[in-house]
Chains A and B, each alone.
Chain A
Amino acid sequence: MSYMDGMQRIDKSLMNRVLNLRENYNYEGYTKSDVKRALGMSRVDVEGLRALLSPAAGEFLEEMAARAQSDMKRHFGNGIELFTPLYISNFCDSNCVYCGFSSHNKISRLRLKVDEIKTELESIAKSGLKDVLILTGESAKKRDLSYIGEACKEASKLFSNVGVEIYPLNSDEYAYLHECGVDYVIVFQETYSPEKYAKVHIGGQKMSFAYRFNAQERALMGGMRGVGFAALLGLDDFRKDAFATAIHANFIQQKYPHAEIAISCPRLRPAKNKSEVNAGEVDEKSLFQVICAYRIFLPFANITISTRENAKFRNGIIKVAASKISAGVSVGVGTHLDGVKRGDEQFEIDDTRGVDEIYKDILALNLQPVMSNHIYV
């Protein structure tokens, strides 16, 4: 669906480029020798990325892991950044068939008051975390922006790095949030297939594919330092979506060389009243392959692994390719106050370890947990 009233438009050439490349990605045509050639390149190009995401690369997971690990060490040393998400509201105006927050899903809704947010932030800060990601549902009502801004102001008093994962905004609105202390913006495109996107986003602002696609660019125009990208793997053809995610991030980085690029690797998870939702063919081996391909193609990018995955997988992937991990996570609203859930979760998580436990586990892996890796300037 096209832009709606009030949505800032961005030239569509970059989007068309990504969509055309995705459309023409025929991964079944790649062979073992294509994969070997890609792994032999000092700097893997788009053709190499295609090979690494193909089924043929499934037989080269160990080789891909070795290359990914080497690239990650060169860029990140042995540091693993920690952060936690804070859901401040689960109200949502959009209707997305796979999401627990969907406006048509009957869940317990809650919007924390600013003083409650402050208390939650203080509770999180006690764990030693210095990086927090503020999340809301996709509620596009403009009155929400000042509310989110207030939350971010409070967060920036306690944390060295504050990000948001909220509905897409215009660049002046991102600039406002930047003034409130926000320095990075994450927007999941969910799927880069416009056809599938239209089928699963059936109400609300989120229906506009183009507006969502260009969110990172508007965030950078608004002064943000970093932007994050992701496809929700399992929603459509995961190889094509992973490919599109990586080239989208790459093109944005080329266009805005100062931008710090991050990629998340979410798989579909069951949600309340949506137990049928699952990641389908994206098994752990496939996810591992995708994350390694991301690392090899974009060795400088932060790659985040969320609590959608289990502790064993998360411990394994931070040794190889993921540089940032969430800890002490609750995807419900209001749970950091006293551990009592007040608003329902967006989806089910698979790793319930607390900050201390993850911290110790990272040390046990001979890696260095990094709480602070940012300075707001």
Chain B
Amino acid sequence: MMDIKDDFLELGGHKFSSRFILGSGKFSLTLLEAAIKDAKAQIVTLALRRVNEGGSENILDFIPKDITILPNTSGARNADEAVRIAKLARELGCGDFVKVECIKDSRYLLPDNYETIKATEKLANLGFIVMPYMYPDLNVARDLVNAGAACVMPLGAPIGTNKGLATREFIKILIDEIELPVIVDAGIGNPAQACEAMQMGCAAVMANTAIATSGDVRAMAKAFALSIEAGRLAYLAGLGEISEAARASSPLSGFLE
């Protein structure tokens, strides 16, 4: 039997036993700390624009030191701005990971794939471990691989909608065709959807709104952690085939043996 303890998510040469990436955008600071513990997340995103450096409550102070911070470039409308924010993050001591977000639509917050590819190439050349947030398009994913991305992060549904895997079929194609980890980012609204993403073969799931806006942040963080682990285990075990016709448990041709 597969031992999940030997199963790691690998990103840019780093290994993580947790496949749950926790977004920090919509939490209260104290709850964030608690949610990290319950989610058992090892990677937590950080919007650099939210860092109140020198302020009374700096979000960095609420993220435990053993957690990998994944700064994102939210606020960037194009590749140049994303690169600038990433450099600022590195100067602030946030490490080499960066989640590229290039968004020039303030209504739906959909990523601009073209600018994302450009930013990924520039940042990978600067030595960053680049995790690009993208609209699930196979051609773009291939370009991101060539640009030096460490994974691809397709959206399941628009940010904050909790609508789940609306882009399911396209994410499946990425999983089939792209060698890098495919991490569903945005739209995951409940633990069942996270579990489904993992069962499909996603390498990890990122969630934020679903947890931050739940009635009990800590309980929901735990529920996500469990569902992601369950989904991963199911994927590793290999799901049974889905068939249109009934198949008898006792084969009809069994008497021939």
Contacts and interface: CB of A to CB of B under 8 A. Distances in A.
A, B: real partners: yes
B86 to A, nearest CB: 11
A166 B76 CA distance: 26
Interface string B95-130: 000000000111101000000000000000000000
Majority-rule SS of B interface residues: loop
B49 A130 contact: no
Contact of B50 (A253, A259, A300, A370): A370
Interface string B69-105: 0000001110001001100100000000000000011
Interface in B1-40: 25-29
A128 to B, nearest CB: 4
Given A77-B209, A78-B212, A375-B88, A261 B106 contact: yes
A79 B55 contact: no
Contact of A258 (B26, B52, B77, B162): B77
B161 interface: yes
* Residue from B27, B50, B85, B88 having most chain A Cβ neighbours under 10 A: B50
B56 interface: yes
A77 B50 contact: no
B230 interface: no
Contacts of A369: 57
Contacts of B29: 368
Contact of A160 (B49, B57, B106, B160): B49
A322 to B, nearest CB: 16
Given A77-B209, A253-B106, A261-B106, A373 B26 contact: no
A76 interface: yes
A257 B104 contact: yes
Contacts of A130: 52, 55
Interface in A231-273: 253, 257-261
Given A373-B50, A375-B75, A77 B25 contact: yes
B146 interface: no
B56 A128 contact: yes
A73 interface: yes
Contacts of A253: 106-107
A375 B27 CA distance: 19
A369 B107 CA distance: 23
Interface string A339-375: 0000000000000000000010000001111111111
B51 interface: yes
Given A128-B55, A368-B27, A373-B50, A74 B213 contact: yes
Contacts of B28: 78, 366-368
Contact of B56 (A371, A374, A377): A371
Contacts of B183: none
A78 B160 CA distance: 13
Q: How large is the interface on A (under 10, 10 to 19, 20 to 34, 35 or more residues)?
A: 20 to 34
A189 to B, nearest CB: 21
A260 B106 contact: yes
Nearest to A258: B104
Nearest to A254: B107
Contacts of A359: 56
Contacts of B77: 225, 258
A17 interface: no
A75 interface: yes
A96 to B, nearest CB: 31
Contacts of A377: 75-76, 81, 84-85
Given A77-B25, A128-B55, A368-B28, 8 more contacts: A257-B107, A260-B106, A300-B109, A366-B28, A370-B50, A372-B50, A373-B50, A377-B81
What 7 pairs between A and B have smallest CB-CB spacing?
A77-B26, A375-B49, A377-B81, A258-B104, A372-B52, A368-B28, A128-B56
14 contacts: A74-B161, A77-B25, A77-B26, A78-B27, A130-B52, A257-B105, A257-B107, A259-B106, A300-B109, A366-B28, A369-B57, A371-B55, A372-B55, A373-B49
Interface of B: 25-29, 48-53, 55-57, 75-77, 81, 84-85, 88, 104-107, 109, 160-162, 209, 212-213
